[in-house]
Structures are given as structure tokens and as C-alpha cells.
A = this chain, B = another copy of it.
């Protein structure tokens, strides 16, 4: 008996995890490598960043998700490069794995458009660490405002700027507007958090650019009612310490969050194949790398030419999940010596939440906004949350904060440091 073929999956996000689940049913050995020990339910990451949910509510250890799939091994490790000719994956710690099939699902990071130095001043929102850092900065901003000595300083602390009007940016400003209006309202003595400015800067002509125009308009209206300053056609030219510069506009602000533009993992460069401007591999109709039928790219890392509606599929969870499942099917076809059928994306529409009882939904023929869209959003997100306990807990927490305007995770925590060698100040500074 020869050994079962070995499939290496890089990345435990939506695409990689779905691939692993489906591949576990086939006569294969599967190894999933991720540099985090947990899968994150990214659509709710903004809720961690805005102190509504705890990290544990929206994430689960990858190895416990795959516990019962006995032919799947999970490894905590970071992949440094892929050696296509040698069919080997190399980890940064020197370990290497040979593959019979390779599934690359490395996800993406934010793109700062050739300004990597902006990241320190304006973190993006991709990982739990990002979310906790944003939460820390937002909560610290109000604490600092309470202790500010001049009104300029206070103003700067109380201005929260989100760059990028896609779904993540919209969700973030919606939640920030609620925090300043309801959650923190009575907590301070010297400042009134309601006077804080929450600003959304979008470079293009409208927010939610992938949605129908009417829903963009409704979302903008809803945000304005929540007290968010929405500025479209406002391209950020510089992020300086304490200020965002956009054209002639200079906005004094200490807290800036980046939700504009993605770039894929630098790992894909090690393939030495053609990449598009966002660093994505232009994959074949079966999600494989051109010239390498044994190597697949799924999710944010793949540029998939689909049809007229999607000249390139968007970097969202449903695409990644469907591609992950598809790749497992394609490998199954190989095992049975059947031809692979090309990948087709089943578009179920898009949903973005704005705030309490406010969302927009574009479900193909049906477009809606307001409470019903919000209710669908809640239902779907609870439904897809991994793990039963999480679902009940998160639902309870939402119901609780809906009624009380409380947020359960308003914690400013920073990195652990030994006390013995601590600097005079242990107050975290961004």
C-alpha cells in the first residue's frame, strides 16, 4: 500500500478551513499550517474593535474545529516561501513540508499604497491583534480627552477618523457613533463623549461602492442620522502624527483606522508567477496556478475572472468558502480520474450593517435597507458563527447591549511586560 497523497493547506481562514473539512473526507493526509492558532470570524471583527464582543466570541482554535478529522494535522507556524519546482513549503523556523497538492489561502493585509509608515498611525482590521489594538486606541482617546488641558488637544483626541468607505469602514463608523452617543454618554465628567467627531473618508464618489447606488445613498443617510461625518471623493494624502491630510483638508486626529485597500500575502511572490496589481495570482478556471495543476490559490489571494458582473471575484468570505470547497472537489475528481469542472461562484448577495437596527442588503433582485436588512444580517452572522456555545452567547450579548446600550468588552489592555524592568510609565501609548 502506497502512502496517501499529502495535501498542504496554508491558512486557516474561511477558504483554508472549508478546504480542510472537505478534504478530510477523502483518502488523503492533510496538513493545515497557520501562524495563528485560531480561526477568526472576520465579519464580526469590527465588533471586537468596538468593544461589543470579546475575541473569544468570534474565534475558535483551528485544531479544535478540525478535532474529529483524524487525517488532518494542524500546525502553528508561519510559511516563509513556496518552492514550486521542489514541491515543498518552507516555514520561517526552517521546517519544510513536501506536498502532493498545495492549497494556498493566505488571505490579505491592508494596502497603504506605498506608504507602509502609515500603518503605525492607522492600523487596519484583519486579525484579533488588530482589533484589540484599535479598541485600545479608541478607548484611550476618550480617556486622554478627559485629561486634556487645552480644547485643541481635547478636539484632537475626540476626532476618530476611518479611512475607506467599504463595508468594514461603514461598520466601524456606525459602531463608533453608537459608542460615543450611547455607551460612553454618562461615563465622563469633564468631556461629553457625544461631542466626539466620527468621520468616514472615502476616495471614490460614494460609500459602499460595490452596492447599488440607492443602497449607498441610504447607508450614507443612515450614517448621517447617527452623527457620522461622511466625506466622499476625499483621498488621503498623508497620515501624520496627530493629523490626517486629505487634499487641502487637514484633520487633527490621534485615532485613525485604515479600511481602504487590500494587498495579498507576500508569500505569493515566492511562486514566481504573474501577479496582478493587488498581488493576486491570476488563477485558472479550476483555481489552480497556471502551469501547476497541483497548486491552488483560494480566497483573497486569487484573482478569478468570473463573468461580466465579476471581472474579478471580491475578497469576501463566501467566495473563499466556495473556492475552498471547490478545490476539495477538484482534488477528489483527480483521485477518481474524473475531469475537473470549472469553479462557479454562487452569488448570494451582500450585506453591510450600519448600526442598531440599520443595515443594507443587496440580494440580487431584492434590495433593502433598515430593520429587516439588519435582522437578516444578525440571523446570518449568528448562523455562520463557529460553535454552538458562541452563537448563544453572542446572541445574548447582542440582546443585552441592544437593551442596555452597554458594551461588555471595554477594556484597555496592552502587551505584557515584566514589572521589574518596567519603565516609569506603564500607561500604553499608541
Contact = CB atoms under 8 A, between A and B. Distances in A.
Nearest to A133: B416
A123 B305 CA distance: 52
Contacts of A229: none
A312 interface: no
A192 interface: no
A54 B394 CA distance: 13
Contacts of A67: 186-187
A426 interface: yes
A414 interface: yes
A77 interface: yes
A396 B399 CA distance: 15
B119 A78 contact: no
A410 B64 contact: yes
Interface string A120-150: 1001000011101100000110010011000
B416 A129 contact: yes
Given A400-B389, A408-B389, A418-B119, A76 B427 contact: yes
A186 B418 CA distance: 34
Interface in A389-430: 389-390, 392-393, 396-397, 400, 404, 406, 408-421, 424-427
Given A109-B419, A393-B396, A411 B73 contact: no
A57 B55 contact: no
A37 interface: yes
A133 B408 CA distance: 21
17 contacts: A36-B412, A37-B411, A37-B412, A38-B411, A56-B411, A60-B410, A67-B187, A76-B412, A92-B427, A112-B420, A116-B421, A117-B420, A119-B420, A129-B413, A129-B415, A133-B416, A414-B415
